[in-house]
Each structure stands twice: as structure tokens, then as C-alpha cells.
Structure 1
Amino acid sequence: MAQSDSWMREFEDAVRLADDIAARIAERNSAAPVGAGTRTADNSRLISAIRRKITMLGTRLDSLQSLLSSPSLTKALSEKDLSKRQDMVLGLRSRMNQMTNSLNASSNRSNLLGQDGKGEPKEDKRVTGLDNSGIVGLQQQIMREQDEDLLKLEETVTSTKHIALAVNEELDLHTKLLDNLDEDADRTNTRLKNMQRRLGDLSKKASSGCSVMCLVLMVLVIVILVLVIFALIRYL
């Protein structure tokens, strides 16, 4: 259940990101015709920010889709709930594609028509001599090229994500190895202390045994001397 709640929180974050993208696209489309200078720079920054957020949204949707295949989530949810969440991801991805197409169409219109320093439309060289259907065809071609660029960018982001996951797994493995090494060092240290204590006990016992042996030898020597003296006195 905790895994399921985590998935829903991530999906809600993705929905909020999609709402933010839609608001920025609406802001961009409702802006006055772009002139020279600061307005042009602001417009370019806004479009770049929107494209970055769309890429982020695509990455989150890939992550959400991947989580739906994880064993922990498939066990926690019924097939009906899993199917419902699949539809939720597909719906949000469809919305993302629509916003991408809307942004591309708006950007292509500005690029094709252009703007001069006074805000007047300036015809692009590529549309010279083209009728309306030709301009539409050129716009569609540019949109396809930009879609291909977005797909390449998405592949790069996905590849980077996989590399990051692999690096994270490698770091986890090294962390576990270090933890095991610390445990082995602690066990070895404990064994060394036990061995030192045993050696100390043996040393004390050895010292005590030596003292007793010396005492026994001294008694034997004294007894022998007494016997010898007694013998000498008796036979002399």
C-alpha cells in the first residue's frame, strides 16, 4: 500500500507539472507580438523553459510506467487498478504530446513569419514563392524535425537515467561491501581480544605452576639433605 501511495504522489506531481506547462504555453500564445531586444530574449527563454519541463514530464511518465511493472506494485494492486493507472499514464502522455504539438506549431509560425525590429512580420526565405499549402507542408516538415530532435533528447535522458541507476546500484554494492568489511574487522578485533585474554590467563597459570614446582623441588632438596645428614651421622 505504501508503494501504491508513493506512485499516486508521483503521478499527482506529474499532473501538476503538466498544468504548469499548459499555463506557460497559454502565457506564451497570449503574449503580444514579439519585437526586438528584451521581448525576443524573454520569449526564447520561455520556450526553452517549456521544452525543459516537457522533457521532465516525459521522464516522469517513463518512471511511472516502469513502476507499474514492478513486482511490489503488481502484488499490491488488482488488475483493474493496474489497468486504470495504465490509462492514467497514457492520458497524461497524450496531453503532453498535444502540448508539444501546440508549442511546436506556435514556434514554427513565429519562425516562418519572423519579426523585424518594429514588430512587423518578416517573411522567411524558405517560404518565398510558396502558397498556403506549401507553407503548411514546410511547417509540418519542421515539426517532424523537431519531433525527431525531441525523441533523440528523450532517448538521451532515458540513457542518462539508466546510467544513473547503474551507478546508484554500484554505489549500493560498494556500501554493502564496506559494511561487510567493517563487520569482519569487528569480529577479528573481538577474537584478538579474546585470544589476548586467554594468553594472559595462561601466563598467570604458568607463573603459578612454576612457583609450585620450585617449592616442591626445594622441599625435595631439603628432604634429601636431611636424609644425607642423617645417614652420615648414623654411619659415622
Structure 2
Amino acid sequence: MDEITIFSIRLESLQSLLAKLHGKPISEKEMNRRKDMIGNLRSQANQMANALNMSNLANRDSLLGSEIKPDNTMSQLEQDEGLEKLEETVMSTKHIALAVNEELGLQTRLIDDLDYHVDVTDSRLRRVQKNLAVMNKNMRSGCSCMSMLLSVLGIVGLAVVIYLLVKYL
């Protein structure tokens, strides 16, 4: 009876996921996850059907008088339960691995983007440094030109003053 309850809960979960999907595109990962869920439900349904058939067969055999071996049936049921738990663990591990893989892909893309931005920033920094070097060189040469111009103007001014002094004295 517990298996039937679990089965109905999983079916309700699947139906709610499908209801949320209405009108939205499905990623491949999500589609695979849902296929896995459906496969699990089918497997469990088959196991429950087999268990019910075995139970019905055991009841029929006991009614007809043939002797059944309860130990064999019990050990098979225990094995089935163990296999179901193992299957759930494997599926859970698979989903965790898929999530880790997706996160790893995201982190790789983020690192690639960061690397690209670092390269762009480095290129811009080099251009700015070149421009500053050119401007600094121009400033130094601009200062020497300016000082030469002032010197020439000073000399011309002194020559004019001397000329005026000589002319009026």
C-alpha cells in the first residue's frame, strides 16, 4: 500500500510539472529529467503489478492446496525494495551530477567573460599609457619652443629699447 501512495504522489508531482510547463519552452535537461521521472514511474508500476500478480498467484496456490515457499517470496520482495532504493539513489545522484555540470558550465562561461574583459581593459590601459607618453613628450617639446619664443621676444624687446635709448639720447 505504501508503494501505491508513493506512486500516486509522484504522478501528482509529474502532473504539476506538466501544468507549469503550459506555454513555456522546455530545455533539453528538463525534458530528460521528465523522461527519467516517467521511466521511474513506469518501472515502479511494473514492479507493483508484478508484486500484486505474485500475491494473487500465492493466494490462488494456497487456495488450490499447493505449497508455496514464503521465505523465497519475502527475500525477493526485500531485494525488490533494495533495488528500488538503489534506483532512487542513482537517480538522485544523476540529478546532482547534472546540476553540478550545469553550474560548472556557468562558472566556465563567467571566467571566460572575465578573461575577455581583462584583455579589453589591458588594451585600453596600454592605449592610455601610450597617449600619456606622447602628451608628455609634446609638453616637454612645447615648453622648449615656448621658452625659445620668449627668449626671441625678449631679445627683440631689448633691441628696441636700446635703439630708442640711442636715438633719443
State the TM-score bracket (shorter-chain normalisation).
0.5 to 0.7
Alignment RMSD (CA, Å) = 3.0
From the superposition, tell whether residues 173 and 190 of structure 1 become closer, same or farther in structure 2 (CA, over 3 Å).
Answer: same
What runs of 5+ residues in structure 2 fail to find an aligned partner? 1-25, 51-64
User: 2:129 matched to 1:180?
Assistant: no
Q: Which has the higher helix share?
A: 2
* 1:133 alignment partner, SS class: coil
What runs of 5+ residues in structure 1 fail to find an aligned partner? 1-68, 75-85, 102-130
> Which of 61, 67, 87 is the aligned partner of 1:133?
67
Deviation per residue, 1:7-56 (Å, 9 max, x gap): xxxxxxxxxxxxxxxxxxxxxxxxxxxxxxxxxxxxxxxxxxxxxxxxxx
Question: How many corresponding residue pairs?
Answer: 117
Shift of 1:70: 6.8
Aligned to 1:220: 153
For 1:132 and 1:201, how far apart are their aligned partners in 2? 105
User: 2:166 matched to 1:233?
Assistant: yes
User: 2:104 matched to 1:171?
Assistant: yes
Letter in structure 2 aligned against 1:133: E
Aligned to 1:161: 94
How high is the TM-score relative to the length of structure 2? 0.60
* Identity score, percent: 50
Letter in structure 2 aligned against 1:141: M
Shift of 1:220: 0.7
Between 1 and 2, higher relative CO (CA 8 Å, sep ≥ 6) is seen in 1
How high is the TM-score relative to the length of structure 1? 0.44
Deviates more, 1:149-158 or 1:170-179: 170-179
> Which of 128, 137, 152 is the aligned partner of 1:195?
128
